[in-house]
Amino acid sequence: MTPQRMRWTPELVERFWTGFAQTRLVEMSFSKQAGRSVVLAIEHLLPRDGRMLDFGAGDGHLIRLMCERGYRVAAYEPSAGRSENLSNTLRDCPGFLGVANADSTESFDVVVMAEVIEHILDEQLDATLSRIAQLTKPAGVLIVTTPNNEDLELGMAYCPASNVLFHRWQHVRSFTAATLAELLARYGFDEIVTHCVEFNDALFVPGDPLWGGAAADATPPPYIVELRANRPAMVGAQSNLLYIGVRRE
């Protein structure tokens, strides 16, 4: 019998991630596997006196890492249950600005959307990206990471109990640097640069004084120099896109 493909709905997505959170698979989440690399790759874009937002914050691990480095960061999580959990787990985290919700009118200097856009369903994409634009100050920075030209078919899992195929990480779309920049331009963002990056701590952490114990005046590798200069960088296996854009005024 030919397997049927999962037709994701908002309810199924919520059920998927609620169940996911109750397993050890949470240890494989992007922010836990690569969060420090992401922070180090974008730190030159984070103003010390600014307000940052992690859109689709999940369990808040990326926020903890950013706060650990002295930044002020809020969370945006559309799931009511996860929003409440974030408020509780990050309450005592220095620099945590709280959880922004669907009714929030505030805007931020930098909005980070790490490994989120590939999960957004077609029927929710326009509203989500419009909300991203509202949350980003004019001339504010949007940072997006997503798999680089992912072959979605190779990420499929098969459930023999239901004869259903579904993407094991609930990815529903794939981007190249060009298609990502084109999409975000429709919502008022101008691309500064898009890098192709392997977010691997072995490539980023050793040269950092706080997390890697490096000397403060250590010479960074060439790809770090390119990242900090906002020149297109090709890092490691280039498995992810790192888009940097600015919201039009």
pLDDT at 168 over 90: yes
Structure pTM?
Answer: 0.96
Backbone angles phi, psi at 81, to 5 degrees: -65, -45
Contacts of 69 by beta carbon, 8 Å cutoff, 6+ apart: 39, 43, 210
Give the CATH number of domain 4-247; options: 2.60.40.10, 3.30.1020.10, 3.30.420.40, 3.40.50.150.
Answer: 3.40.50.150
pLDDT reported for residue 110: 99
What is the mean predicted confidence (pLDDT) over 221-236? 97
SS3 letters across the chain: CCCEECCCCHHHHHHHHHHHCCCHHHHHCHHHHHHHHHHHHHHHHCCCCCCEEEECCCCCHHHHHHHHCCCCEEEECCCHHHHHHHHHHCCCCCCEEEEECCCCCCCEEEEEEECCHHHCCHHHHHHHHHHHHHHEEEEEEEEEEEEECCCHHHHEEEECCCCEEEECCCCCCCECHHHHHHHHHCCCEEEEEEEEECCCHHHHHHHCHHHHCCCCCCCCCHHHHHHHCCCCCEECCCCEEEEEEEECC
What is the mean predicted confidence (pLDDT) over 228-244? 98
What is the mean predicted confidence (pLDDT) over 76-82? 75
What is the mean predicted confidence (pLDDT) over 115-127? 98
Tell me the domain boundaries of the chain: 4-247
pLDDT reported for residue 241: 99
Give the confidence band of 77 by pLDDT, cuts at 50, 70, 90.
Answer: confident
What is the mean predicted confidence (pLDDT) over 189-194? 99
Specify whether the CB–CB gap between 86 and 146 falls below 8 A. Answer: no
Cα(61)–Cα(171) distance, integer angstroms: 20
pLDDT reported for residue 85: 81
Contacts of 228 by beta carbon, 8 Å cutoff, 6+ apart: 44, 220
pLDDT at 190 over 90: yes
